[in-house]
Amino acid sequence: MTKKSNLLLVSLLITIGLFIYLTIHHYALKIGLGGNSLCAISSALNCDAAATSSFAEVLGLPIALLGTAFHVILFLFVLLNRVGLIDSSAQLQKTVRGMLILSAVTSVVMAIVSAIFIRVLCPFCAGTYVFSVINLILGWNIIKDFDSSDFSWGSYFGEYKAHVIALAAIPALTWAVNGMILDNYGISEIKKRIPERLAAWNASPVQKFDASVGLTNQVENPRITLVEFADFKCPHCKTASQTIDVFLKGKSDIHFTYKPYPLDGTCNDNVSFKGDGSRCLMAAYTLCAEKIAKKGWDVHHWLFENQRDIIDLTDATKLLPTFQKEYGLVPDEMTACADSTEIYEAIRKSAQEGAAAQVEGTPTIFMNGKKLPWGQFLDILKAAAAY
């Protein structure tokens, strides 16, 4: 039994570790720090889609955080019994068994929800499902050597009331930790401003955009159209790009268009100062990569993912060897395309569309033709999409 207890403790620690990762990932997505997550393997195997679904929270509390607190309490019950600080009893057996059953049943329910409603499989979530079953098998008979005749439900309100207090601590602890995280990272302020931002969005005039200008994901009969004006050297645009990528995952009814809006008067008549032209060239390379080899989105994502390394770059032509190595884009073809009047006019037209739609900075996001304030935040996007 000692060996089985140790195996259960290890299994519970792994379960807690999985839930902690999912909790961190959940909050990271909310503040736009998702990036390329460890478990975003494909469109079918993706934690991002699961973490941003309506099933990721219960009464405003992340399921991942609830799972962490729940299994920490379960781990403590087993550990304290293992080291002799809690005596074996019928009450402890029923408490541990009840928690193991609840964990396994919840896992089955969430697996069904993922398959039927979210339609993606979150690998780390699946890990918690598997370990909940392993925990149930290992822990079913872990509490032994007690007199079962001493059991009474009333004892939970007397000698064993600590069990009830520990179980009640799970939602209380989750609520407290969630509140601290929301306040510490400004997420609570975003949530408070959602009604105000939605009201401003709803009152905004509808703008018409040319879908042929920029990059688009080519969705037929979309329920939602999303347009973003962005600059590749704008730090907030990088955050917005990550947020939008996460928002789009698992959704096939959103038509998204990226429109270049370089903050450089060299190619954007709405910017008063002229820069070194690198912002304009990066926008041009993105459009050219799409025109030449349908690699526009690849270059788009590469530029944002590597923004820290290229933000001080003044000669964007130095990026061409990298694009050739990564995506097979021939430098001479890219240069000829980027220098063409067609691409220059496309960037200029995109910037003019932005000016006509009262774009005053980057990123600026429009949903269904209306400017969406704070649209770079996931909670704002989700609220507007559900409006």
Low-confidence ranges of the chain (pLDDT < 50): none
Fold classification of 2-184 (topology level): de novo design (two linked rop proteins) (1.20.1440)
pLDDT at 299: 98
Q: What is the pLDDT of residues 303-351, one digit of tens each?
A: 999 999 999 999 999 999 999 999 999 999 999 999 999 999 999 999 9
**Closest among 62, 98, 99, 94 to 173, alpha carbons compared:** 62
Give pLDDT, residue 51: 80
What pLDDT does residue 98 have?
95
Domain residue spans of the chain? 2-184, 195-385
> CATH number of the domain at 195-385, out of 3.40.228.10, 3.40.47.40, 3.40.30.10, 3.40.50.920?
3.40.30.10
The pLDDT value recorded for residue 43 is: 62
Residues in Cβ contact with 85 at an 8 Å cutoff, skipping those fewer than 6 apart: none
pLDDT given at position 147 = 65
pLDDT for residue 181: 93
- pTM confidence score: 0.78
Mean pLDDT of the chain: 92
Query: How confident is the model over 159-174, as pLDDT tens digits?
Result: 889 999 999 999 999 9
